């Protein structure tokens, strides 16, 4: 009886959604535009992720180079001390030879040549040591700057996570989770908090959660927000001209959530809706419980990395 009622409601909703050809064309054009913008933003996000990975690689290489320079500096300092001791010894020998008889002149000439060679080597080592000291100081300064920026970024991410968690305290852990991963804040919202089965309209409870999230994010101007819709692998029961599969469903759900966040004060320039359909499951779609876990929306908040890029560009 319950299933019959649901089918009747769905049928009425479907019949009420019949639109004119012009409106259908407009909706189709909007869908194509949204998909094009999604592709552009996805490409931009991939580029940011690659830049972030390159940044971490460059940072690790910079730390390694700094350690190598420190080792070279210590070796040269040790070599310099040895050369200075050898120089002092030969200089003393040279002075003693000056007081000896003429038969020692050949030895004196040889010692003079050795002394000159050692003095030249000593001067060269001193110059190398000064250069290494300067380079090491510059690299240590750059490493310290990078570490400070990374520390500030990590603190900002943790502060943002705390702000979001506090804003969503009224909701159950089974409905949403907030965590930090790879330097980003992930807010995962279960389907039952936001949508009815197969629906793209956010229910009242979900709207409340998204409005609280928007309030926590709207003043953050140095972040990028990706709204990702996810489904299980069960095909949609009712297809339409604008929704053929789970991919379409996930994109439209992400767009619905994005509009609520924007209406709540989040800048549309900072947010990108995306749909991944059934293709990024958390767990295998082999039980009803697992399918429920996979039906979710993930809001991924990424901090601005411009400051890090500027430091690396001056390397």
In order of 150, 182, 199, 220, 239, the CA distances from 246 in angstroms are 38, 28, 11, 32, 10
> What does pTM read for this prediction?
0.55
Closest CA to 202 of 299, 300, 301: 299
* Domain range annotation of the chain: 60-154, 168-313
Question: Quick check: 65 pLDDT over 90?
Answer: no
Q: Exposure of 297 by Cβ count < 10 A (0-12 exposed, 13-18 middle, 19+ buried)?
A: buried
- C-alpha triplet 193, 216, 252: angle, nearest 5°: 45
Q: In this predicted structure, which of 54-58, 158-162, 243-247 has the lowest mean pLDDT?
A: 54-58
**Containing H/E element for 128?**
helix 105-167
Query: What integer pLDDT is reported at residue 310 of this predicted model?
Result: 59
In DSSP terms, 275 is beta-bridged to 229
Query: What integer pLDDT is reported at residue 125 of this predicted model?
Result: 83
User: Cα(50)–Cα(8) distance, rounded to whole angstroms?
Assistant: 49
User: Cα(296)–Cα(232) distance, rounded to whole angstroms?
Assistant: 9
Strands (E), the chain: 176-181, 184-190, 223-230, 271-275, 296-303
For residue range 270-299, what is the model confidence (pLDDT) as tens digits? 999 999 999 999 999 999 999 999 999 999
User: Cα(234)–Cα(278) distance, rounded to whole angstroms?
Assistant: 8
pLDDT band at 15 (very low <50, low <70, confident <90, very high): low
87: which 2 tokens? 């120089």
For residue range 239-259, what is the model confidence (pLDDT) as tens digits? 888 899 999 999 999 999 999
145: which 2 tokens? 């700057």
The hierarchical CATH code for the domain 168-313 is 3.30.1330.60
SS3 222: coil
Mean pLDDT of the residues in the chain: 85
> What is the mean predicted confidence (pLDDT) over 107-121?
83
Question: Quick check: 11 pLDDT over 60?
Answer: no
Strands (E), 27-94: none
Q: How many residues does the chain have?
A: 315
Question: Quick check: 14 pLDDT over 70?
Answer: no
Question: Is 223 within 8 Å of 267 (Cβ atoms)?
Answer: no
Question: Is 115 within 8 Å of 87 (Cβ atoms)?
Answer: yes
């Amino acid at each position: 009886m319950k299933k019959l009622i649901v089918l009747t409601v769905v049928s009425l909703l479907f019949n009420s959604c019949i639109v004119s050809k012009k409106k259908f064309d407009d909706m189709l054009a909007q869908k194509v535009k949204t998909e094009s913008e999604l592709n552009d933003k996805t490409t931009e996000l991939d580029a940011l992720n690659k830049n972030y990975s390159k940044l971490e690689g460059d940072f690790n290489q910079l730390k390694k180079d700094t350690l190598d320079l420190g080792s070279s500096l210590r070796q040269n300092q040790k070599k310099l001390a040895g050369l200075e001791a050898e120089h002092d010894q030969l200089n003393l020998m040279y002075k003693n030879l000056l007081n000896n008889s003429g038969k020692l002149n050949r030895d004196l000439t040889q010692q003079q040549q050795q002394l000159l060679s050692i003095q030249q080597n000593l001067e060269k080592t001193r110059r190398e040591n000064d250069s290494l000291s300067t380079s090491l100081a510059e690299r240590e300064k750059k490493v310290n700057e990078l570490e400070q920026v990374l520390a500030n970024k990590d603190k900002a991410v943790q502060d943002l996570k705390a702000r979001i968690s506090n804003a969503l305290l009224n909701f159950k852990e089974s409905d949403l989770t907030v965590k930090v991963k790879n330097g980003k804040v992930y807010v995962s919202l279960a389907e039952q908090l936001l949508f009815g089965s197969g629906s793209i309209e956010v229910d009242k409870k979900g709207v409340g959660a998204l409005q609280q999230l928007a309030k926590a994010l709207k003043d953050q101007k140095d972040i990028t927000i990706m709204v990702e819709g996810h489904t299980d692998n069960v095909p949609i029961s009712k297809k339409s001209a604008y929704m053929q599969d789970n991919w379409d469903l996930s994109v439209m759900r992400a767009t619905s959530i994005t509009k609520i966040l924007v209406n709540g004060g989040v800048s549309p320039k900072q947010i990108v809706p995306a749909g991944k359909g059934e293709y990024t499951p958390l767990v295998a779609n082999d039980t009803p419980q697992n399918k429920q876990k996979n039906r979710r929306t993930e809001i991924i908040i990424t901090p601005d990395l411009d400051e890090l890029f500027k430091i690396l560009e001056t390397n």
